[in-house]
Amino acid sequence: MHTKYCTRCVYPAIAASALTFDEEGVCSGCRVAMQTVDIDWDARFKFLQGLVAEYRSESNYDILIPVSGGKDSYYQTHVAVRELGLKPLLVTYHGNNYFPEGEVNLRRMREVFDCDHLIVSPSEDVLVRMNRLGFKVQGDMNWHNHCGIFTVPIQLAVRYKVPLMLWGEHGFMDLGGMYSYKDFVEFTAKTRLEHSLRGFDWFDFTDAGLEKLGRPELKEGLQPRDLLWAQYPSDDEIDEVGVRGIYLSNFVRWDANEHVRLVMEQYGWESARQPFERTYRLFSNLDDIHENGVHDYLKYIKIGYGRATDHACKDIRAGRMTRDEGIEMVRKYDHVKPRTDLERWLAYVGMTEPEFDEVCDGFRDPRVWRKEQGEWKKANIWD
């Protein structure tokens, strides 16, 4: 069994964000990251100043910022308020499973930035059902999170008539080089549906939707009005306000480690109080207990790598880690079954570990995994 890996970072050819490789065996994610060295960032920031000038308002918010309370949320808001002098509306989808430190960071934003902040928290009972459904239908208990994060801000942009949304990084561009920095890519409903939501939409999780999917045994009694927070606005509603979403990483040089230093120093932002079971980075994903735990373990089950690989790729590209050090992180973390986190999630949704393992095995990618004498095996970067 053989898998191709990028010669510069630690990504395998079969990755969650589609990668291409050039003649030197370097992946598209690395190549796009290298573009940032030659960009005239001063000129880009001036361009951003001109762009937001068209959206300044006398009577309304100037801009809407989708925030989770994480380091990127603080940085986006810092740039909007302190560097661009905008009045933002902060919007959060709250999926019910914040770490305590993540919750503190989230709730402090309206104080430290003197902003209005709308937090949408769906019913806990509906979210538990959505955890079970996301896991069984799609192999991702946090499907509801991806949906809420990429739906609620657009709903509120329409409702409050704030046309400009400011996102942080474009995830698939950052990891896999899905777009070039020359594209100035913006948010689209197509990327939301096809990539963030993996082709599923809210109606697939209602009883009628599961009937249509041919999975009636999974019905959780959800009706359309239980999932109002998940329903993307119509094209007409969006066009009437002229909603568009830009990515800050196209206009300022993105350096996660540097941004963490800034938001800790200036705003008292807190990183994780305890280490994670599946990655070494302490400053990512504090908005969901399971994001770096069971959710990420499922990614490993599906395609053979996890967040330690993602984090190592980011740090190698940023020049903060060598490829060999990255490989050590992958070796240490990617395979770990997160005990504490798994127990918490199983209790949350009322499932046993054997049931969990059985569903997991159904999602293993046959290009990555094979069974040998009852054990699942895959190729590794250090082989």
Q: How many helices (H) and strands (E) does the chain have?
A: 17, 7
Of 30 and 173, the one with the shorter C-beta distance to Zn ion is 30
CA atoms within 13 A on the CB side of 109: 31
Residues contacting residue 143 through CB under 8 Å, at least 6 positions apart: 130, 133, 134, 137, 197, 198, 200
Of 30 and 243, the one with the shorter C-beta distance to Zn ion is 30
State the minimum distance, in angstroms, from the CB of residue 179 to Zn ion: 16
State the minimum distance, in angstroms, from the CB of residue 4 to Zn ion: 11
- 143, two tokens: 């499907």
Q: Does 8 contact Zn ion by CB under 5 A?
A: yes
State the minimum distance, in angstroms, from the CB of residue 172 to Zn ion: 14
Cα–Cα distance for residue pair 292/246, rounded to 1 Å:
26
**Nearest in space to 9 (alpha carbons), one of 238, 302, 301, 308:** 308
Report the residue from 15, 16, 27, 86 that binds Zn ion according to the rule CB under 5 A: 27
Q: Interface with Zn ion by CB under 5 A: which range of 24-32, 99-107, 182-190, 203-211?
A: 24-32
Footprint (CB under 5 A) of Zn ion, residues 29-88 = 30
Q: Interface with Zn ion by CB under 5 A: which range of 7-15, 125-133, 331-339, 372-380?
A: 7-15
Q: Does 6 contact Zn ion by CB under 5 A?
A: yes
Cα–Cα distance for residue pair 93/196, rounded to 1 Å:
15
Q: What is the dihedral of CA 54, 51, 78, 57, to 10 degrees?
A: 0
State the minimum distance, in angstroms, from the CB of residue 30 to Zn ion: 3
Q: Tell me how crowded residue 31 is: count the other CB atoms within 10 A of its CB.
A: 17
Q: Does 157 contact Zn ion by CB under 5 A?
A: no
Of 22 and 343, the one with the shorter C-beta distance to Zn ion is 22
- 275, two tokens: 């280490």
State the minimum distance, in angstroms, from the CB of residue 325 to Zn ion: 15
Residues binding Zn ion: what is the number (CB under 5 A)?
5
Cα–Cα distance for residue pair 168/50, rounded to 1 Å:
18
Q: Does 314 contact Zn ion by CB under 5 A?
A: no
Footprint (CB under 5 A) of Zn ion, residues 180-209 = none
Chain residues that interact with Zn ion, rule: CB under 5 A = 6, 8-9, 27, 30
